[in-house]
Each structure stands twice: as structure tokens, then as C-alpha cells.
Homo-oligomer: A and B are copies of this chain.
Amino acid sequence: MRNTEQKSVILEVLQTHKDHPTADQLYSEVRERLPKISLGTVYRNLEKLSSSGVIMKLELGGNQKRFDPNPMDHYHFRCITCSSIEDLPQDLKVDLPDINSETRSNRVILGTTLEYYGYCEECAANKILN
């Protein structure tokens, strides 16, 4: 993996985020620093950075993938109204059962995704008003 300016700017921009931007959000922010960068480059680098464990690609509900600067294992809440994604505290660990022994199977379990969904605080408040 070669070190390019594009890659490091993409990473820097993502790391300023406390939320979980989509590829096109990052694209428009990165373009302020690198106006000639192309969307494909953003996708390509996000893919490399996540497959090498520097960042995390989130495949939760909804139609867009999102990117998380924090590659450590943690859970998320997703708002089905505004599509925002919130981190749940990293020390929140749920004791998940060993499904292989439960089902007598020999799968290789690489990880788990736990997602809560509903209305975020803001959208919930708005719903009451309307």
C-alpha cells in the first residue's frame, strides 16, 4: 500500500468526524483540500483503509455504507428518520452466545454487528411536535 496525498487527506478528514460520514460526504469535504480528486479515488482509499484495519466500514441498514474513524469494536444506533448513526459507548459490551456450540456448526465467526434502530433524540422530539 503506497502512501499518497489523497489517501492521507481522506484519512485526516474522516478522523475529524465524530459521526459516520458516507463516501460522498467525505468526497465533498476532501475536495476542499484536493479539488481535483475523483469520487472513485475516495471509494478506493476508503476500501483499502478499512480492509487494512485503519478505519471501519459500516454496513448497517439503509442504502449507503458509512465509514467510522474508530476501527475498534463497538455498537451503533441508527435513526430511521434522518439516517444518522451514533456510536454506543465502547465499554458497552454484550455477552454474545457462541452460536456454533448452540447450533452444532463449524462456521468461522469473524465478528458481529449489533445495531439498535429507531428515532434519534432530535427526530423523536420533532415527531412529538407534529
Interface residues, chain A, with chain B CB atoms under 8 Å away: 59-62, 77, 79-80, 88-89, 92, 94-97, 99, 102-103, 105-121, 124-125, 127
Instruction: Flag if B113 contacts A119 (CB, 8 Å).
Output: no
Instruction: Flag if A112 contacts B116 (CB, 8 Å).
Output: yes
Instruction: Flag if B59 contacts A77 (CB, 8 Å).
Output: no
Copies in the complex: 2
Q: Nearest-CB distance from A97 to chain B (Å)?
A: 6
Chain B residues within an 8 Å CB radius of A113? 60-61, 113-115, 117
- Contact partner of A99 among B77, B110, B125, CB < 8 A? B77
Chain B residues within an 8 Å CB radius of A124? 106-108
Chain B residues within an 8 Å CB radius of A121? 105-107
